[in-house]
Structure 1
Amino acid sequence: ILLLEEGEVAHYGSHELLLRESPQYRELYELQFGRQKEPVTSEAIVDGKNGQIEAHGVATFVVAPSGAA
């Protein structure tokens, strides 16, 4: 994930890393989803059944990496 600020890369990394280390990313996440006891992790998205998971009441579709079955 790239976090841009005024057209420049301010932070980059995984969702979990950015939640821990980027106040700007954490603020954006909390504004959109509120404070969660257990935030959605990238593993939860990857492990979604048939490429679809239910996240925060909204169906989320993910694209499997090429070669994945």
Structure 2
Amino acid sequence: MFGQIVGEILPQAIGIALSPIPIIAAILMLLSPRARRTAPAFAVGWLLGILVVALVVMLFVPASAA
């Protein structure tokens, strides 16, 4: 059951992960004078944000809604 849910959500998650906004932000940060400090912080924050949203959806959306 969990594998089926992940299989249904995975294409959308990949689309969100590849959206141009984080890519543009990463390029701008890498070109900034403090790239060594800002780029890893952005990457960690971005991944944690996606994980939090995924966790909230998994906890609060009932399985019968799928």
Common fold by TM > 0.5: no
- Normalising by structure 1, report the TM-score: 0.24
Specify the structure having the higher radius of gyration (Cα): 2
- Normalising by structure 2, report the TM-score: 0.24
**Higher RCO structure, 1 or 2 (CA under 8 Å, sep 6+):** 1
Q: Which has the higher helix share?
A: 2
